[in-house]
Amino acid sequence: MTTLSTHILDISTGKPAGGVALRLEQGDQVIASGLTNANGRLGDFAPAPLPPGRYRLVAETGDWFAAKGLETPFPCAQIDFIIPAAADDHYHLPFLIAPGGWSTYRGS
């Protein structure tokens, strides 16, 4: 069964980014949405099992930084990813954010 979780860390402060709005898209459809908790996490984010296909995980980081009085040229950070047909795994896709940029990796 393929599942998805995420975590957002503001690397400019070294603190989790709680209250960031997230959505999971497949094509033109939003299939899940939510907010990170105080620890910057959103676990079991998508309907399980997540079927094979191409997805986009979008974090509204621009709004989050604006609420903190910080400017960023990036209104959002997004991760495009594919779940292959043979997948039966957990996908943990964290965001490392800062006003000047962001990064990701596949976690465990």
Over residues 52-90, the pLDDT tens digits come to 899 999 999 999 999 999 999 999 999 999 998 876 788
Provide the domain limits for residue 49.
3-104
CA atoms within 13 A on the CB side of 8: 28
pLDDT score, position 29 = 95
- pLDDT, tens digit (0-9, with 9 covering 90-100), for 30-62: 999 999 999 999 987 777 788 889 999 999 999
pLDDT of residue 43: 83
pLDDT at 89: 85
Q: Hey, what's the torsion of the CAs at 8, 15, 100, 93, to 10 degrees?
A: -20
Q: What is the CATH number of the domain that holds 56?
A: 2.60.40.180
Residue 38 has a CB neighbour count (10 Å cut-off) of 9
Cβ-based neighbour number of residue 5 at 10 Å = 16
pLDDT above 80: residue 18: yes
**Nearest CA-CA partner of 58 in 3, 1, 4, 2:** 4
The answer to whether 61 and 77 are in contact (CB under 8 A) is: yes
State the total domains in the chain. 1
